Amino acid sequence: MAAPPLLTLKDVALTFGGTPLIESAELAISPGERACLVGRNGSGKSTLMKIAAGLVEPDRGERFLQPGTTLRYLAQEPDLSGFDTVLAFVEAGLAPGDDPYRARYLVESLGLTGEEDPSQLSGGEARRAALAQALAPEPDILLLDEPTNHLDLPVIEWLEGELGRTRAALVLISHDRRFLSGLTRATVWLDRGVTRRIDQGFSAFEAWRDAFFEEEERDRHKLERKIADEEHWLRYGVTARRKRNVRRLGNLHSLRKERRDERRPVGTATMTSMEAEASGTLVVEAKGISKGYGERTIVDNLSIRVTRGDRLGIVGANGAGKTTLVNLLTGKLAPDSGVARLGTNLSMMLLDQARAVLEPTMTVTDVLTGGRGDSIMVGGRSRHVIGYLKDFLFAPEQARTPVSVLSGGERNRLLIARALAQPSNLLVLDEPTNDLDLETLDLLQEMLDDYAGTLILVSHDRDFLDRVVGSVLVSEGEGRWTEYAGGYSDMLTQRGKGVDARTVATRGGARERTEPRGEPAGESSRKKMGFKEQHELKTLPVRMRELETGIARLKTVLDDPDLYASDFARFEKASSMLSAAQTELSAAEDRWLALELLRESQAS
């Protein structure tokens, strides 16, 4: 018999202003649950999480927490005020009987010493401190709202391992696809105020969501046809039977009201970049450049060449010097030694991670127009600012909204809208994916795929890097940077490990390096292939062909437009099998590539 849920929400509703934010939300969290809460920016995910945490009272509905259940909630913007040190803040989350040494372990594992002043922390450091406080008591339920925001890759990978080992039930909100796919076994989708759930992890969500929208669109077309038929009858049908006419007229009004009241999906963003004239073939060339501050070396004797159309990703731990490196490559900062030069005919657009250009008192319109009227030049023609804002999912009434009341995702979308309206042939994006919902991430990726210029991207989003960049420049520590061909996963295969963790000071004053958890130990130093690996290398191509055949067959089944409505169980099973087969194929391809590289290294 299954254990009863630890936490339940039933028929929850909440309205801010006129339109209901949440109309009918359900949530049930059982012991050991691994669930993600997904939905677009502004759909109410964070609000629903706060209701689950008991921090917000809904207008309607029930919240029940099993007596004795411990729950910890990580907010997007944690408050550390009132504490002298980070360690004191983390220890405040412990209950009587909790292990006090766990607080110290978590603080140091997350790259902090515990002695920091909370008021002086960066956004990423504050997030790590709040994570340590949430994880320290080993609660029954963990509610984590964007836990990977402002974290670097080593900490994200460490956190994946820590959450994978915890016995707590998890509910995660995140835009990091790989993070969600690796940790979740159930998905709760908040869409237009209503929750829907599938008992499958995030990797199955997008296919299920797309099928749902397709079915909804078919139902909408049926309604439109029915309305058209009724209107035709009303105009041209027999009018002698007055009572019947009145009844059918009433039906038509009802159908029209149904169509008018229906909450449709929010429109998709339309991202197009304004491209300038083509740059010269050479975009950036650095020869032996070095940069340091005091005794610390940020860049040591780096030579790199970026040509027109390249997609270069830059990754490293927080504090490794990624922003400094970008400034050196783009000419904003002079190297201490060596030469860095830019190519000809460059029009550069920089999207700053710090969002320094957004003044809190400016309105959304002012950010785009500079306070000069209601029009903006996009693609060489004038557009009304409200029409352009609609392309980026802003409602017309938000045009005069101050920046200070926008969510993190809305601020980021506004910056992207501003950046893409200006002509460029070199895009420099510093953490563009922070706070964006998954659909907007997809559209940003499509825009970058179509962008004819050159891209330099700084990101901690492994999936986004895999989708967008053609090479990755990685911090090796001590100012050394190495370029690897391919995306993040390709770099992982070639390098044998992920991004090195930052060096942290311990209590004794010594410094130690914490390697990311979960990386294959010593993989890069192995010299010989065993019999098992040789057998794998021979048999994997056969298995990959079998998986490709199976995937094609499952896609044929799912291509049936009537399957969802006529046989939902078969549709759900086919969707689950397709997701599993695609995941297995990806893993098999990665494994084959790693073995092939090992075989080639032996032959050379």
Written as one string, the DSSP assignment of 136-184 is TT--SEEEEESTTTT--HHHHHHHHHHHHH--SEEEEE-S-HHHHHHH-
Residues 175-234: tens digit of each pLDDT? 899 999 999 999 999 988 899 999 999 999 988 988 888 887 787 777 677 666 666 555
- Please tell me whether 553 is known to bind a ligand: no
Give domain limits for the chain. 7-207, 217-261, 279-347+424-503+510-519, 360-423, 526-603
CA–CA gap between residue 532 and residue 462 (Å, rounded) = 30
Question: Which structure tokens are listed for 204?
Answer: 């199955």
146 phi/psi in degrees, rounded to 5: 50, 60
Q: Looking at domain 279-347+424-503+510-519, which of 3.50.50.60, 3.40.50.300, 3.40.190.10, 3.40.50.450 is its CATH number?
A: 3.40.50.300
Q: What single DSSP character describes residue 370?
A: T
Instruction: Kindly report the number of other CB atoms within 10 A of residue 577's CB atom.
Output: 17
- Please tell me whether 28 is known to bind a ligand: no
Residues 496-525: tens digit of each pLDDT? 877 776 554 443 343 343 433 333 333 333
pLDDT of residue 275: 55
11-20, 52-61, 234-243, 264-273 — which one is most confidently predicted on average? 52-61
Q: What single DSSP character describes residue 354?
A: T
- Please tell me whether 164 is known to bind a ligand: no
For residue 89, what are the CA distances in angstroms to 73, 96, 116, 132, 198? 15, 16, 10, 9, 37
- Please tell me whether 305 is known to bind a ligand: no
Residues 199-216: tens digit of each pLDDT? 999 999 988 988 888 887
- Please tell me whether 470 is known to bind a ligand: no
- Please tell me whether 46 is known to bind a ligand: yes
| Amino acid code (one letter) for 601 | S
Q: What would be the CATH architecture of the domain defined by 7-207?
A: 3-Layer(aba) Sandwich (3.40)
CATH superfamily of 526-603: Valyl-tRNA synthetase, C-terminal domain (1.10.287.380)
- Please tell me whether 168 is known to bind a ligand: no
According to DSSP, the β-strands at 311-315 and 454-458 are parallel
Q: Is the pTM of this model over 0.85?
A: no
Quickly tell me which residue has 């018999």 as its tokens: 1
Task: Express as a percent the part of the chain with pLDDT over 90.
Answer: 28
CA–CA gap between residue 61 and residue 20 (Å, rounded) = 14
- Please tell me whether 40 is known to bind a ligand: yes
pLDDT of residue 357: 60
- Average pLDDT in the 61-77 region? 92
SS3 assignment, position 384: strand
- Please tell me whether 44 is known to bind a ligand: yes
Find, among 465, 405, 379, 565, the residue nearest to 156 by Cα.
465
- Please tell me whether 528 is known to bind a ligand: no
- Average pLDDT in the 125-129 region? 87
Bridge partners (DSSP) of residue 374 are: none
61-86 exposure pattern, b = at least 16 Cβ within 10 A, e = fewer? bebebbeeeebbbbbbebebeebebb
Residues 105-124: tens digit of each pLDDT? 999 888 888 999 988 887 77
Phi-psi region of 351 (alpha: psi -120 to 50; beta: other; left: phi over 0): beta
Residues 368-384: tens digit of each pLDDT? 888 778 888 876 678 88
- When comparing pLDDT for 450 and 486, which is higher? 486
Q: Do domains 279-347+424-503+510-519 and 526-603 have the same CATH topology?
A: no
Alpha helices in 10-71 (DSSP H): 45-53
- Please tell me whether 24 is known to bind a ligand: no
- Please tell me whether 42 is known to bind a ligand: yes
> Residue 337: CB partners within 8 Å, gap ≥ 6?
288, 289, 290
Confidence grade of residue 579 (pLDDT, cut at 50, 70, 90): confident
pLDDT of residue 336: 93
Question: Which structure tokens are listed for 445?
Answer: 């990726």
464 phi/psi in degrees, rounded to 5: -65, -40
